[in-house]
């Protein structure tokens, strides 16, 4: 019931999102929808702006800065008053996913801004071509896969849901030993299972583009993404069987070469979750820009 209610808000949320110029992956209905198992999203109009509040057991926070053309100091003040009214711990009251260009909405004398990480953005043509010395090792991985495995690169369809869900569980199980001493990473593995399930079930309604790689009759990799704006395509997630050498590079490159993605100049692959191995992989594809994302709190709270 929650799922359908949120889907009914899709056009309204996207209308307000179009009024922003943000390049962060969180500025999308897809991002909000796929995290609804962990947050109860509440949409409220304040001063003509759409405010997306997220509520969970610790309290309520703003999932995004207010969306609209007339966000003012009064809008921000009202948002914090609303959060502080319901939060026992006033430190929970905050604004997440604030892009750099919106930091002036939060003057330093009143607010504290914390850089919580960066999203990685690439030229799509660079990833599609993998040309030059900078991509020598990536070409080698790609070519190794193509030469050594019988494969099919296919559009995702409903009939593949069960196989993709099983692949995620196998992939997550293989990652647990790597993150054995990182409680946050282990929790993320569990939470992302729900995110993937929602995307796999509702990819049509969400406007997601999904692709799979079948090796010897079995789904060994899948990836999904969505347009963030007219120039940027965001890769929502990618899962590949780690025992199949070169498969990760193959599906990433093929996705960037895909006709459905070709109109976009940039590819955003989101952040690295503050995990060193993911950071190394994303750095190795030579991002053209790192997009900072900030969390904002009121001083003295």
Average pLDDT over residues 170-187: 91
pLDDT of residue 300: 79
Number of domains the chain is built from: 2
Single out the residue in 74, 96, 118 at which a domain terminates: 118
pLDDT of residue 174: 92
What mean pLDDT value characterizes the chain? 95
Q: Enter the pTM of the model.
A: 0.94
Single out the residue in 118, 152, 179 at which a domain terminates: 118
Predicted confidence band at 134 (pLDDT cuts at 50, 70, 90)?
Answer: very high
pLDDT at 197 over 70: yes
> Within this chain, do residues 179 and 274 fall inside the same structural domain, yes or no?
yes
CATH number at residue 282: 3.40.630.30
**Residue range of the domain that includes 190:** 120-290
Average pLDDT over residues 245-267: 98
pLDDT of residue 178: 87
> Within this chain, do residues 15 and 137 fall inside the same structural domain, yes or no?
no
Single out the residue in 102, 118, 134 at which a domain terminates: 118
> Within this chain, do residues 137 and 284 fall inside the same structural domain, yes or no?
yes
Average pLDDT over residues 38-57: 95
pLDDT of residue 180: 87
Average pLDDT over residues 87-93: 91
Return the residue matching tokens 């926070």.
Answer: 61
pLDDT of residue 2: 43
The reply to whether 300 falls in a domain is no
pLDDT at 5 over 90: no
Predicted confidence band at 3 (pLDDT cuts at 50, 70, 90)?
Answer: very low
Residue percentage of the chain with pLDDT more than 90: 88
pLDDT of residue 274: 86
């Amino acid at each position: 019931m929650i799922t359908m209610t949120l889907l009914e808000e899709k056009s309204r949320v996207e209308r307000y999102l179009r009024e922003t110029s943000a390049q962060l992956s969180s500025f999308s209905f897809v991002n909000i929808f796929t995290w609804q198992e962990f947050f109860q999203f509440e949409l409220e109009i304040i001063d003509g702006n759409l405010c997306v509040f997220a509520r969970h057991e610790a309290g309520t926070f703003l999932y995004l800065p207010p969306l609209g053309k007339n966000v003012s100091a009064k809008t921000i003040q009202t948002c914090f008053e609303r959060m502080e009214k319901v939060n026992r711990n006033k430190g929970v009251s905050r604004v997440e996913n604030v892009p750099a260009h919106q930091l002036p909405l939060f003057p330093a004398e009143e607010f504290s801004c914390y850089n919580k990480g960066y999203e990685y953005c690439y030229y799509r043509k660079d990833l599609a071509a993998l040309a030059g010395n900078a991509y020598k090792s990536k070409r080698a991985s790609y070519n190794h896969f193509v030469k050594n495995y019988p494969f099919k690169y296919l559009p995702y369809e409903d009939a593949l849901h069960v196989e993709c869900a099983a692949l995620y569980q196998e992939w997550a199980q293989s990652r647990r030993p790597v993150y054995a001493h990182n409680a946050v990473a282990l929790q993320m593995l569990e939470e992302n299972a729900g995110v993937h399930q929602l995307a796999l079930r509702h990819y049509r309604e969400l406007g997601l583009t999904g692709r799979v790689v079948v090796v010897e009759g079995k789904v060994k990799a899948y990836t999904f993404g969505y347009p963030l704006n007219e120039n940027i395509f965001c890769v929502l997630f990618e899962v590949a069987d780690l025992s199949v050498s070169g498969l990760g590079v193959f599906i990433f490159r093929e996705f960037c070469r895909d006709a459905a993605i070709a109109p976009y100049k940039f590819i955003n692959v989101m952040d690295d979750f503050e995990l060193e191995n993911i950071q190394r992989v994303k750095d190795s594809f030579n991002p053209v820009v790192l997009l900072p994302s900030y969390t904002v709190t009121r001083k003295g709270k």
